[in-house]
Structure 1
Amino acid sequence: MKKVEKLLIIGIVLISSILLGAMTLAKPAQANASIVIVIDNEVKHRIPLMVEEEMQTYEFKFGEQTGYLEVKNGKVRMLEMPKEICPEGICSETGWIARSSQAIVCLPNKIIVTIQGLDDKNDEIL
């Protein structure tokens, strides 16, 4: 096999892998998917997970405080809370989640945000 043929095969495999990875990561939310907000071990809110280009902001209450989630393109993230409510800010630093195997956790406030109702076949363990 010539060097040019080897490079061509490697290039095709590399491009195919990149495209497959991009399609897997950009998997859109399904119609029955929802964002679930658990506060102090109790489901407090369920929000339909929308797949829209436009950013949506949702407000949720916990105790006397208010938190905010942003939703866009079937992904969700928690916005930063004041330092006196969430000193470390790890929940907002988690960034976007888009799969049911991912979670946003705020330990000081006992908040867990997950996505339920997705068919994450790629996340299954065989």
Structure 2
Amino acid sequence: MFKMMTKGDKILIFAILALSVASIFAIPRLLTTVEEGKMVVVNLDGTVIHRFPLEESPEAEFLEFPFEVRGQSYTGKIEMKDGRVMLHRLSDDISPLSIHTDMGWISESYQMIVSLPIRLIITIEEEDPPEYDFDIISY
């Protein structure tokens, strides 16, 4: 015996779908903090080589940082704008593909930009990260 969905069933299904889609955008915003006190951290092969304060300005700010790979000196360039950061294209000698540039802008501590051939990682760290009572919950 086949039974049709009632109007209430359709409203319930629509509400569940709408809440699911809304939570995709709301949860990352609720878990992050204000941009003040954030630092852009540049790691090369597991060692922090530079730290820059993350600026919240509508004007683009370009910062260059020197680094050394296999005895050769190079200069990296990051761009900061509106509380976000992006790594510009590195030399073809050390990073033949532009994957690190294609990663685009990052603005949160759970995001990163990576240039794998030279193990260059750019992350954002909070000066006073929130402390939680638990690290993970499993059942």
Q: TM-score range by the shorter chain?
A: 0.7 to 0.9
What secondary structure sits across from 1:50 in the alignment?
coil
The question of 1:21 aligning with 2:51 is answered no
Amino acid at match of 2:78: L
Change (3 A) 1:29 1:80: farther
Query: Gapped runs of 5+ residues in structure 2?
Result: 1-6
What secondary structure sits across from 2:117 in the alignment?
coil
The question of 1:33 aligning with 2:38 is answered yes
Identical-pair percentage: 33
TM-score by length of 2: 0.67
Question: What is the root-mean-square deviation of aligned Cα atoms in Å?
Answer: 3.3
Q: Output one character per residue of 1:22-76: Cα deviation in whole Å (capped at 9) or x when no partner.
A: 8x66x78532110000112111111001110000111111110111000001110
The structural deviation recorded for 1:21 is: 3.5
2:117 alignment partner in structure 1: 108
What secondary structure sits across from 1:65 in the alignment?
strand
Is contact 1:37-1:114 (8 Å) kept?
yes
Match of 1:117 among 126, 131, 135: 126
Give, in whole Å, the separation in 1 of the partners of 2:41 and 2:116: 16
Query: Gapped runs of 5+ residues in structure 1?
Result: none
Runs of 4+ in 1 over 6 A off after TM superposition: none
Give, in whole Å, the separation in 2 of the partners of 1:53 and 1:101: 23
TM-score by length of 1: 0.72
What secondary structure sits across from 1:108 in the alignment?
helix
Amino acid at match of 2:94: I
